[in-house]
A = this chain, B = another copy of it.
Amino acid sequence: MPELRKDPVLGRWVIIATERAKRPKDFTHAPPVPPAERACPFCPGNEELTPPEISRRPGPLGWAVRVVPNRFPALDSVGPATRQGSGIYDRVAGVGAHEVIIDSPAHDRQLADLSADELAGVVAAWRERACALEQDKRLRYVLIFKNHGPAAGASLEHSHCQLIATPVLPVLVKSELDGAQRYHRFRSRCVYCDMLKQERTDKARLVAEHDGFLTFAPFAPRFPFETWLLPLEHFGSFAALDERRVSGLARALKDALDRMNRVLDRPDYNFVVHCTPLDCPDAEHYHFHIELMPKLTIIAGFEVGTGFYINPVPPEDAAAYLRGEK
């Protein structure tokens, strides 16, 4: 069973794959190129190539969106989240969920190529899975993200999102929660709500406003053309993402992807959805948001080892390009 381990200084949890562990030569010898004739496990007609389906949203080809377990899950779905100490170290059994949301039956359509209504089906699938996993009392967080393209870590071409549900909090979400709580303690206001207000006033970093969602380049972005999407209304959980908000988010996300694709010629990219932890879905101080990061530069150990980023594109410039003004 995989194991979650905590850095004793930073409180940062990592998943350690204790089974199927890789050996040095798995890294030093390039993996064999998958044969072109191999069937895509995410295409209609090949449904038996994935582990048993978790859910589907109906569509003309049998389904429009399909959710399946990851074939090589980072976490196990069965067993208790046993917590264990050894000296100064902490570990938790690697229980949780690792699922794949297949965005559409079409092999060649990127997420941005879907219609806003089709994309709303994908977002609705995120919500459905997040709300279902919320019932699992072993879990503390549901992380939804997308790796698009090989440079962004995608191993399959057919468009898909991923979901990882964990019995611990990802360290950056924890840091955001702590920072947002500190802000709230002094001011009794949500820092993200204040950010929205300031961005709408400053205007320099605004990209678009769509159906209740604001898209902007954050004030201190790590990456060129990093873009955030926040709902104008304050909420934090997937449970609060009602039908209207699902539709608004889908429209805002499609617009953001379209702009990024136009300016940067369809780059590889990642996005991560940050929501409230499962045990405090209605936190007054935390605000649902999506961080969209085109993969344009190498992220080296330096950045990761220090948390220090050098960004060659001011967010004001990025926003102007994304607005179509540059």
Chain A residues close to B by CB (< 8 Å) = 3, 5-18, 20-24, 26-28, 74, 87-89, 143, 145, 147, 150-153, 164, 166, 170-173, 175-176, 179-180, 183, 191-192, 194-195, 198, 201-202, 218-225, 263-265, 267, 269-272, 291, 293-315, 317, 321
Contact = CB atoms under 8 A, between A and B. Distances in A.
Given A9-B176, A176-B9, A88 B198 contact: yes
A222 B151 contact: no
Contact of A172 (B17, B219, B307, B310): B307
B9 A300 contact: no
Contacts of A312: 17, 20-22, 26
Given A12-B220, A27-B264, 13 more contacts: A8-B191, A9-B180, A16-B220, A16-B311, A17-B312, A21-B313, A21-B317, A24-B264, A87-B202, A152-B298, A170-B307, A270-B302, A293-B301
A301 B152 contact: yes
Nearest to A315: B16
Count of identical protomers in the assembly:
2
A291 B10 CA distance: 14
Given A172-B306, A306-B272, A308-B14, A219 B7 contact: yes
A6 B307 CA distance: 12
A27 B317 CA distance: 14
Contacts of A272: 301-302, 305-306
Contacts of A180: 9
User: What 6 A-B pairs are tightest by C-beta distance, nearest first?
Assistant: A270-B301, A153-B300, A172-B307, A272-B305, A171-B307, A293-B301
B175 A307 contact: yes
A8 B296 CA distance: 25
B308 A18 contact: no
Contacts of A3: 314
A311 B307 CA distance: 19
A151 B265 CA distance: 23
B270 A28 contact: no
Contacts of A269: 301
B305 A291 contact: yes
Given A153-B300, A305-B272, A317-B21, A14 B310 contact: yes
Contact of A220 (B13, B220, B304): B13
Contacts of A14: 220-222, 308-311
